[in-house]
Structure 1
Amino acid sequence: MAADGTGRSATGGFSDGPVADGQGRFGAGRPSAGSVADGLEQSSGERATVRLRGAPVREHPAEPPRYAPEWLRLREPADAAARAHDLLDPLRIRLAGLPGRADGLVVHDLGCGTGSMGRWLAPLLDGAQHWVLHDRDPYLLHFAAAGAPHTAADGSRVTVETRRGDLAHLTPDALNGAGLVTASALLDVLTTEEVGKLAAACTAAGCPALLTLSVAGRVDLTPGHPLDTEITEAFNDHQRRTGMLGPDAVTVATEAFAGHGATVRAQPSDWRLGPGEAGLTAQWLRGWVGAAVEQRPELRARADRYLEERLAACAAGELRVVVHHTDLLALCRPTGGAP
């Protein structure tokens, strides 16, 4: 995820949570032989249920994975509850009108992490689906493929393959044949240039894009605290370092897709964390405050006391947090003659 306290960072620093790098941020590193430029593979005339490209090992054994699967599992229920269901009906209508659906829907999931988007969305859509899971981290791709769903909403088959890739190399050819592009908590760790490339590639492919859980730059904590605003501002500044868009991502993406003629819809997708999500809230708090202090070291003494108080309230079941996100649906113009 991104600026909501989940640990992704383009530079290896803290971005959005308790670990060092992104939900397999689809944008850093050198592509392997299984990069996004490879195209879709067929096996014996039929798509295999799971095809892994690359073993579940780290590129450098001494380094931790870029995004801890444990954190992704912790936040997955909150993500699923937050995503904007109101965007699904217009998406279904568009998908029904796309050409070439007889053989099933091909979905490219960018920065897939451990595959939570596919587990959420595939069972909500009718018809056969083939998910192409993109990430730069083979360790996460292993989890994504192993945990992928097998059936769609109507019982049709869902298959997957994995690809290691780099957003810097994303071209229209990489999405050839795509019926849908998805991503979760990705936009806010991209640059303006990377978002522009994404919009251009989706437009050239003529497929819609469902881009969920982009940070909105607002956090509501109850009860309030005098330091809430200052921590939030420092965290938002941290999100924008090294050219990343942070809380400006949805605005930039909306303009980029609209500039290519797409119809863009946005809906809130907020985390609402209470006593039942105390484990997630505590991890989020540590990451959120830690990023703020990294951005503004002069906050450290006050922030340490603040974090101690907030964690105590969380443990006592007295803290509630709303972390604001936005989901975006870009309905690009189809290229096969559909309206």
Structure 2
Amino acid sequence: MSWEARLSTPGSPVCTPDWLALREPADAEARASDLVEPLRALRTPLVVRDLGCGSGSMGRWLAPRLPRPQRWYLHDRDPRLLAIAAGSVPGEPVEGELADLTDLAGAALVTCSALLDLLTADEVHRLARLSVEAGAAALFTLSVTGGVRLTPAEPLDAEVAAAFDAHQRRKVAGRRLLGPDAGAVAAEAFRALGATVTTRPSPWRLGAAHPELTEEWLRGRLAAACEQEPALAREASPYLRRRLDALAAGELRAEVGHVDLLVLPSRTGPARRTGPC
């Protein structure tokens, strides 16, 4: 049987609407909602920059939890996804690459979801600098950590995990992706600039409650691992079959590690930059 992913390519910045729709309920369940509470004190009208917004799932989850009025700027490279996001989030679509963003002035809050692990260390440090220069708070959710626990366990799990994590840290077009190191790198970057950082675990809990997402996650994980370590391909098909049989029987559970970061600007940090968004 083929182990190839059907809707997603792990570690790729290109996402399909179907994949994003499939993962949205699990994302909403996983996010650390207690990190939102300090954001309720932000000034209104609340200006939010949502980076790599995709189809807008972060806005749909976060906007109802924040004080109103709000104005969102939805940033993404994909015009298809921007159109979907703009249909349900009170915002203005902004098409373009994250690397082209040079200013966050005027934003009170910068957000992203499942994005930091697709960036390089330099890109994360640059994002931290822009956010701190703007005096903005930040809420970055669902960065992978590399911690995965599958029940029941199998001997091949460790090899797949090592290959997958290496794939997440691979070099793409000269860019070394952070993968599971992203959360720690981002926290260090913001703290070095004087900001206060709070982190919370935000794991996906997969299994019988999310069967389609669990299967797609398994397929994507195996495909990435086999791309990184081709020798794993010999065992990939029977391994996936055993896992899918366990899922169908209601016996498979997976905890997939993520981390959420809340960043609050320092009152004594760099001078705040003001200006129109």
Q: TM-score, normalization: structure 1?
A: 0.74
Residue of structure 2 equivalent to 1:15: 10
Look up the equivalent residue of 2:22 and give its one-letter code. L
Q: What stretches of structure 1 move > 6 A for 4+ residues in a row?
A: 5-8
Give runs of aligned pairs for residues 39-118 of structure 1, distance below 5 A.
66-93=14-41, 95=42, 101-102=43-44, 104-118=45-59
Match of 2:197 among 264, 283, 292: 264
Asked if the contact 2:151/2:254 (under 8 Å) is kept, the reply is yes
Name which structure has the greater RCO, CA cutoff 8 Å, separation 6+: 2
Q: Which runs of 5+ in 1 are unaligned?
A: 9-13, 23-65, 96-100, 149-158
Cα gap change, 1:266/1:6 in structure 2, threshold over 3 Å: closer, same or farther? farther
The one-character-per-residue Cα deviations of 1:243-291 (angstroms, maximum 9, x if unpaired) are 0000110111111111111001100000011212111100110001110
Asked if the contact 1:231/1:289 (under 8 Å) is kept, the reply is yes
Deviation at 1:7, TM superposition (A): 7.1
Query: Is 1:214 equivalent to 2:147 in the alignment?
Result: no
- 2:37 and 2:65 map into 1 onto residues whose CA distance is 10
Residue of structure 1 equivalent to 2:110: 181
Asked if the contact 1:212/1:327 (under 8 Å) is kept, the reply is yes
Asked if the contact 2:144/2:258 (under 8 Å) is kept, the reply is yes
Match of 2:96 among 137, 146, 165: 165
Deviation at 1:336, TM superposition (A): 5.8
* Equivalences, count: 262
Look up the equivalent residue of 1:329 and give its one-letter code. L
Aligned to 1:199, what secondary structure does the other structure show? Answer: helix
Superposed CA RMSD in Å reads: 1.7
- Could you tell me the percent identity over the aligned residues? 56
Q: TM-score, normalization: structure 2?
A: 0.90
Look up the equivalent residue of 1:232 and give its one-letter code. A
Asked if the contact 2:133/2:272 (under 8 Å) is kept, the reply is no
Residue of structure 2 equivalent to 1:43: none
Q: Which runs of 5+ in 2 are unaligned?
A: none
Cα gap change, 1:205/1:176 in structure 2, threshold over 3 Å: closer, same or farther? same
Aligned to 1:114, what secondary structure does the other structure show? Answer: coil
Asked if the contact 2:197/2:264 (under 8 Å) is kept, the reply is yes
- 2:97 and 2:20 map into 1 onto residues whose CA distance is 21
Deviation at 1:120, TM superposition (A): 0.1
The one-character-per-residue Cα deviations of 1:79-123 (angstroms, maximum 9, x if unpaired) are 000000121122324x2xxxxx34x10000000000000000000
- 1:73 and 1:128 map into 2 onto residues whose CA distance is 27
Look up the equivalent residue of 2:112 and give its one-letter code. A
